[in-house]
């Protein structure tokens, strides 16, 4: 099943590509399923970029295109929720009032701060910068369950000007194991986000070590997403990611329709 379950369109504040262009490219690449997961980051600390999704327009345009391309590709509608502790109720309401096929939970912030901003790692050591990010994720997975898959679990390691960005699992073992166990216990999954390969990490998000522990702890649900903000990034590095997953012992990846996972051989 060739599919991509993390992509953006111009409904996201950081993407200029219309949905139709992403779809045309996906058809060229022979994808069977394509799932839009545009950003919905409420209370994002940059007033200059609007990461709040116009959900009614997004869903309208999606259904128009789903019909138009129904003979060529199966289109799915998802959302990438920017998680913050004070937003849980608001986000639950959004998920429960809309008919999404797939819901990604994401952290782009730690303690309300944008980890992408240089100042974040100027004010934090590498260890504390990573730890605060994981503390937020742990808080989210413990008290919020209206999502399907937690995306790019170690996104924070992209940033910060460090020689060795990939984290040592043992430095964060307790908190990462607790995050992964909670996700598994709640019947949720994680994604392999292949954009990590574009940040000279030599790994997807999350890195091999986290994926290995997820497997050891009993994790089975994995989706594959490119996080494409441009057509040429669709399904980028999926071959590498599938080989990595197989080498760890995973046999399946998932797609979602109507919030229900379907398992496909890797």
What is the binding site for Zn ion (CB under 5 A)? 80, 106, 227
- Give the nearer residue to Zn ion in terms of CB position, either 112 or 218: 112
| Contact (Cβ atoms closer than 8 angstroms) between residue 255 and residue 5 | yes
- Give the nearer residue to Zn ion in terms of CB position, either 80 or 136: 80
- CB 227 to Zn ion: min, Å: 4
| Contact (Cβ atoms closer than 8 angstroms) between residue 16 and residue 46 | no
- CB 250 to Zn ion: min, Å: 22
- Give the nearer residue to Zn ion in terms of CB position, either 158 or 217: 158
Strands (E), 178-251: 189-193, 222-225
Give CA angle at 146 (140, 152), nearest 5°: 55
- CB 15 to Zn ion: min, Å: 9
**What is d(CA 231, CA 19) in angstroms, rounded to the nearest whole number?**
10
Sign, CA torsion 258/254/115/179: positive
- CB 44 to Zn ion: min, Å: 12
**What is d(CA 124, CA 131) in angstroms, rounded to the nearest whole number?**
10
- CB 258 to Zn ion: min, Å: 21
| Contact (Cβ atoms closer than 8 angstroms) between residue 127 and residue 164 | no
- Give the nearer residue to Zn ion in terms of CB position, either 35 or 254: 35
- Give the nearer residue to Zn ion in terms of CB position, either 80 or 236: 80
Least Cα distance to 76 among 94, 91, 63 occurs for 63
């Amino acid at each position: 099943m060739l599919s991509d379950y993390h992509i953006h369109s111009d409904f996201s504040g950081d993407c200029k590509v219309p949905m139709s262009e992403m779809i045309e490219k996906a058809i060229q690449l022979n994808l069977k399923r394509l799932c839009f997961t545009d950003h919905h980051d409420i209370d994002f600390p940059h007033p200059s970029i609007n990461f709040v999704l116009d959900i009614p327009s997004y869903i309208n345009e999606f259904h128009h295109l789903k019909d138009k391309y129904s003979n060529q590709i199966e289109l799915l509608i998802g959302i990438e929720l920017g998680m913050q502790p004070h937003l849980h109720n608001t986000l639950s309401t959004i998920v429960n009032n809309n008919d999404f096929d797939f819901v990604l939970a994401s952290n782009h912030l730690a303690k309300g701060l944008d980890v992408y901003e240089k100042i974040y790692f100027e004010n934090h050591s590498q260890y504390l910068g990573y730890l605060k990010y994981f503390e937020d994720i742990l808080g989210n997975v413990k008290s919020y369950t209206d999502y399907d898959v937690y995306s790019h679990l170690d996104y924070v390691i992209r940033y910060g000007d460090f020689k060795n960005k990939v984290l040592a699992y043992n430095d964060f073992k307790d908190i990462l194991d607790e995050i992964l166990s909670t996700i598994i216990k709640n019947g949720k999954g994680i994604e392999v986000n292949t954009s990590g390969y574009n940040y000279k990490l030599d790994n997807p998000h999350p890195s091999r070590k986290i994926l290995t522990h997820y497997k050891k702890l009993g994790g089975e649900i994995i989706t594959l997403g490119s996080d494409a903000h441009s057509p040429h990034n669709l399904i980028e590095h999926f071959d590498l990611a599938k080989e990595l997953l197989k080498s760890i012992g995973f046999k399946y990846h998932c797609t979602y329709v109507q919030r229900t996972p379907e398992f496909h051989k890797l």
